Amino acid sequence: MTGIDAAELAPSHGARGGRRARELSRRGETRRERLIDAAAVLTPSALAGALSFYEIGARSIWLDESASISIASQHGAALGAAMAHDGGNMLVYYALLHVLIGLFGNGVVVVRAPSAVATVATVAIVCVVARRLFDRRVALASGLLSAVSLPLVYWGQDARAYAPMVALVSASFLAFVVLVESDGARTSRWAWVAYVAATTLALYMSFVAVLVVPAQLVALVWCRRRLRPVALALLVCALCSAPLVVLARQRGSGQLFWVPKPSAAALHQVLESLTSAAFQPNFPRTGTSDLLTWATVALLAGAVAIAAGRIVRRHGDPPELSEVLLLGWLVLPVLLAWAESSVGQSIFLPRNLLVSLPPVGILLASVTVGRTRVSGSSRPASWGWAVVALLLALRALQLAPTYGVSPENWKAAVSYVLTRTHPGDCIAFYPSDGRMAFEYYIGASAAGPAPRPVLPSAAWGDVRPYVENYTAPSRSQIAGLLSGCSRLWLVASHQGDPNGPAASVRNYRRYLILQAALATEMARHTTAAFGYAAPVDVELLSR
């Protein structure tokens, strides 16, 4: 064999080296892309964690948080009865809180930590959904906008199930997107399981999670993708939620007696909440609330117009999943809640429509930093990041003043009473729910001995959930109730609404009757109020 023949037959070291270099380059590029994608998710998530955990224990607990703590502090049959009292609403949340309290106690940070973690998870999931539906730029911008959101951060610092519900609803949508768009059997199977788990757990966190299911169904039917596995998944979710339905039917809608029918004012509050421009009545509006509200509405209208234009230009072809899914996620829960509240039991509250908050950030990001079609080519809007920065600044102006502010200040009310209590003092609550919040701070306070409870009369240390207990003694029972009391502290909050629904009016009248009956036995001495959205009213009466 000649030298030339050998050279032709021998492998080319230069070619092998070139292929290896190209392969290493591709691997390096893939690794770099993954790191950038991870940064687009982790950066907003870290911001959400910082905003949610900052001063998480500074704000006083309020009545609903004290109910969460009291319910979760029960054991055995008492725990089951307490969780069922609300018709199974937030059942899984109470079970989670029960475990945490058993392990770490009922400190403010402990009971609020699950909500803060859930807010971080929501932001991370929003980023991933935006990355799948759009691109990395939209993922980063939508995550930042979601992280700097007054309603999301507020509920992330609250011992209620709303933040975990939003996280699970977001996870349901992510699993839905993966399930609908997946081709591989393994990916599809895991996405199916995740979709069932997230959707079912969201329902067990709060009933209102069901409002998002129609949005998913509309997107599914309109885009004509994988109808069968999603329908089967929803059937499994319905079967898993059967116990919840039974509990809800037994309880009825009595726990929502105080929710008024939809009105222009209620709609405006929902709009301010969804745009992260205000959170009434918990916090006063700022001078830039209107600017943020209407700037956000204008951008969302632009996103809707762009999506509608794309659908029209398809001339009957199925639209993109992102176009239908995000619009349905934003609009349908609001419309359904309005319709249900108009003809049946009202549920039209900003907290119940938090399920529509995640798509706001994604739509805002898509219309600002997303790629748009111009003259047949794709390019990002040059002004997009400036708009995102402006929105973030405006959102921060709404969020910053709320830290450490207590719209319902039970901590201060308890300190006020304990530092002024004399031997022989008694204390009464209307409604009895207030006792839960008062007793929570007695356990952490060393200000002085507490007055003897007479309404309700259970001794301190006997932790019971008094939920929506508006009972009051009759005039004939007042004298016996005050036996042995030299002075009486009357503590009231959420007494009812003289201009609200019929049940709220009745509760408020009971409060007035109780005040009048006590006035026949004792004279009013001093009064004080703590908080402003739902102030804790404290009266001291003496003989």
Indicate if 459 and 494 belong to the same structural domain.
yes
Tally of structural domains, the chain: 2
HEC profile of 334-385 = HHHHHHHHHHCCCCCCCHHHHHHCHHHHHHHHHHHCCEEEECCEEEECCCHH
Domain end, chosen from 340, 369, 402, is at 402
Q: Using CA atoms, how far apart are residues 291 and 386, in angstroms rounded to an integer?
A: 16
Indicate if 335 and 394 belong to the same structural domain.
yes
**Pair of tokens at residue 218:** 């509309």
For residue 3, being part of any structural domain is answered with: no
Q: For residue 4, is pLDDT > 70?
A: no
pLDDT of residue 532: 94
Region of 87 on the Ramachandran plot (φ > 0 left; ψ -120 to 50 alpha; else beta): left
Q: For residue 523, is pLDDT > 90?
A: no
Q: For residue 252, is pLDDT > 80?
A: no
Instruction: Determine the structural domain holding residue 125 and report its residue range.
Output: 32-402
pLDDT of residue 248: 85
pLDDT in tens, 253-302: 667 888 999 999 999 999 999 999 999 999 999 999 999 999 999 999 99
pLDDT of residue 222: 76
Domain end, chosen from 371, 402, 433, is at 402
Indicate if 197 and 317 belong to the same structural domain.
yes
**Pair of tokens at residue 379:** 């390019």
Indicate if 426 and 328 belong to the same structural domain.
no
pLDDT of residue 543: 81
For residue 438, being part of any structural domain is answered with: yes
Q: For residue 477, is pLDDT > 70?
A: yes
Indicate if 280 and 259 belong to the same structural domain.
yes
pLDDT of residue 392: 98
Render the burial of 290-320: b for 16+ CB within 10 Å, e for the rest. Answer: eebbebbeebbeebbebbeeebeeeeeeebe
Indicate if 330 and 293 belong to the same structural domain.
yes
Mean pLDDT of 198-227: 89
pLDDT in tens, 63-91: 999 999 999 999 999 999 999 888 889 99
**Pair of tokens at residue 264:** 């222009």
Indicate if 378 and 516 belong to the same structural domain.
no
Q: Using CA atoms, how far apart are residues 440 and 444, in angstroms rounded to an integer?
A: 7
Q: For residue 162, is pLDDT > 90?
A: yes
Sign of CA dihedral 513, 409, 154, 109: negative
Q: What is the dihedral of CA 303, 309, 313, 318, to 10 degrees?
A: 50
The pLDDT mean for the chain works out to 89
Domain end, chosen from 402, 428, 448, is at 402
Indicate if 381 and 472 belong to the same structural domain.
no
Angle between helices 108-133 and 358-368 (to 10 degrees): 40
CA R_g for the chain? 28
Indicate if 288 and 356 belong to the same structural domain.
yes
pLDDT of residue 375: 34
